[in-house]
Amino acid sequence: MYHCAIIGAGAVGGLIAAKLSQNHNKVCFVDRRLSESSQLELELEQWQGVKLQFKLPYLNQLAPCRWLIICVKAHQVAQAIEGLSIAADCQVLLMVNGIGAEQSLLSTLKPEQLFLASNTHGALLIDKQAHQLRVKHTGLGKIDLGGYLNQVLKPQYLAYLNQAFEPVYWHNNIYPVLWQKLAINCCINPLTAIHRCRNGELLKPQYQSEITHLCAEISHTAALESIALSEQQLQQSVLQVAKLTANNFSSMQQDLAQQRRSEIDYINGYLVECAKRHGLDTPCNLALLQRIKQMEQDYA
Ligand code: KPL
């Protein structure tokens, strides 16, 4: 029996599978692009040649899984679980950029089954062939998680996740953490995509006024959602992440460079819509949203 199924055989999914299996959890992958009932070979760069085989079970045979981790792009979440038979007592952990994708799971899952996480571990996809995946753990980070509903009991798998990824922090209310991460993504992702630069470029003086305005809009919107995050606190975390990941290209920068759909709808798009529901205008976030949308429309 698999303890854990991972949807999304990418950098983060690969890293989680590798670390959980190192800690003796039985893990399988679910990936619609690969054929069912086949194997996926995973190598973590740090393993120096050691490879592990993971099963891709038939999608309708997931019933024994009690723990499902979804780490796909935010806009792929709904499709990722389509047609899966997920047991009513299976706990589902969503680990995606932005906010809003969780709503698409609620037609299939009960709200108390759903948990949301923010991950700051660096993971890089070195190579992905049909049935082979090579990933690298590029930076130690942390995982924060909590229930979709506030004040729910800790999930059973928390201890296993903590063994593999210490530290894992449990929150009775995860939303302030998700909003802080949202602010980081609202600033770093579109700005690096538009200016085609690495995260560290945003530390330059010419970007500071725009980042200040973006953080002010995010802080005001968060307050309307009863989440207290000061503009200064948000700006500080944006700059800290830009510094810590200075050499990286953000996920949105990479998406646009490779002419893929970005996660903008769940990042600045979520922020703009949320503010609108409260009657608040967020012109700086709206401008970035429109610019990224335009860039996506201009793909050849
Ligand atoms: O989450 C990220 C992303 O690229 O999506 C950051 C934190 C900005 C790191 O690049």
Phi, psi of 43 (to 5 degrees): -130, 130
Q: Which of 7, 12, 10 is nearest to 137 (CA)?
A: 12
Mutate to test the pocket of ligand 1, among 118, 245, 255, 263 (most ligand atoms within 8 A of CB): 245
Q: Which of 213, 208, 210, 215 is nearest to 231 (CA)?
A: 215
Q: Are 188 and 253 in a shared domain?
A: yes
**Nearest Cα residue to atom 10 of ligand 1:** 250
Please tell me if the CB atom of residue 214 comes closer than 6 angstroms to any atom of ligand 1.
no
**Nearest Cα residue to atom 1 of ligand 1:** 185
Give residue 22 CA to ligand 1 midpoint distance, Å: 26
Q: What pLDDT sits at residue 156?
A: 86
From CA 186, how far away is CA 192, in angstroms rounded? Answer: 11
**Nearest Cα residue to atom 5 of ligand 1:** 251
Domain containing 248 — which CATH number?
1.10.1040.10
From CA 56, how far away is CA 205, in angstroms rounded? Answer: 49
Which has more confidence, 34 or 266?
Answer: 266
Q: Are 56 and 98 in a shared domain?
A: yes
Please tell me if the CB atom of residue 180 comes closer than 6 angstroms to any atom of ligand 1.
no
Q: Are 137 and 280 in a shared domain?
A: no
Q: Are 47 and 157 in a shared domain?
A: yes
Please tell me if the CB atom of residue 274 comes closer than 6 angstroms to any atom of ligand 1.
no
Most confident region among 45-49, 83-87, 214-218 by mean pLDDT: 214-218
Q: What pLDDT sits at residue 66?
A: 87
Please tell me if the CB atom of residue 262 comes closer than 6 angstroms to any atom of ligand 1.
no
Please tell me if the CB atom of residue 235 comes closer than 6 angstroms to any atom of ligand 1.
no
Q: Are 8 and 105 in a shared domain?
A: yes
Give residue 69 CA to ligand 1 midpoint distance, Å: 19
pLDDT at 232 over 70: yes
The interaxial angle of helices 268-277 and 175-194, nearest 10 deg, is 120
**Encoding tokens for residue 2?**
């698999």
Give residue 29 CA to ligand 1 midpoint distance, Å: 24
**Nearest Cα residue to atom 2 of ligand 1:** 250
Q: Which of 295, 241, 230 is nearest to 264 (CA)?
A: 295
Q: How many percent of the chain have pLDDT more than 70?
A: 98
From CA 118, how far away is CA 177, in angstroms rounded? Answer: 7
Q: What is the DSSP letter of 261?
A: -
Please tell me if the CB atom of residue 189 comes closer than 6 angstroms to any atom of ligand 1.
yes
Average pLDDT over residues 105-131: 92
Q: Are 210 and 88 in a shared domain?
A: no
**Nearest Cα residue to atom 4 of ligand 1:** 250
Q: What pLDDT sits at residue 198?
A: 97
Q: Are 168 and 183 in a shared domain?
A: no
Count of structural domains within the chain: 2
* ipTM of the complex, rounded to two decimals: 0.97
Atom of ligand 1 nearest to the CA of 188: 8
Q: What pLDDT sits at residue 2?
A: 55
Q: Are 162 and 37 in a shared domain?
A: yes
Q: Are 164 and 103 in a shared domain?
A: yes
**What range defines the domain where residue 248 resides?**
176-297
Q: Are 28 and 159 in a shared domain?
A: yes
Please tell me if the CB atom of residue 253 comes closer than 6 angstroms to any atom of ligand 1.
no
**Catalytically active residues, by annotation:** 181
Final residue of a structural domain among 172, 202, 222: 172
pLDDT at 96 over 80: yes
Final residue of a structural domain among 154, 172, 190: 172
Give residue 102 CA to ligand 1 midpoint distance, Å: 19
Q: Are 128 and 14 in a shared domain?
A: yes
Final residue of a structural domain among 138, 156, 172: 172
Per-residue pLDDT tens over the stretch 9-66: 889 999 999 999 988 888 888 887 777 777 888 988 888 888 888 887 777 677 778 8
Q: What pLDDT sits at residue 31?
A: 80
- Looking at every residue in the chain, the average pLDDT score rounds to 93
Q: What is the DSSP letter of 58?
A: -
Phi, psi of 192 (to 5 degrees): -70, -30
Q: Are 210 and 168 in a shared domain?
A: no
Domain containing 14 — which CATH number?
3.40.50.720
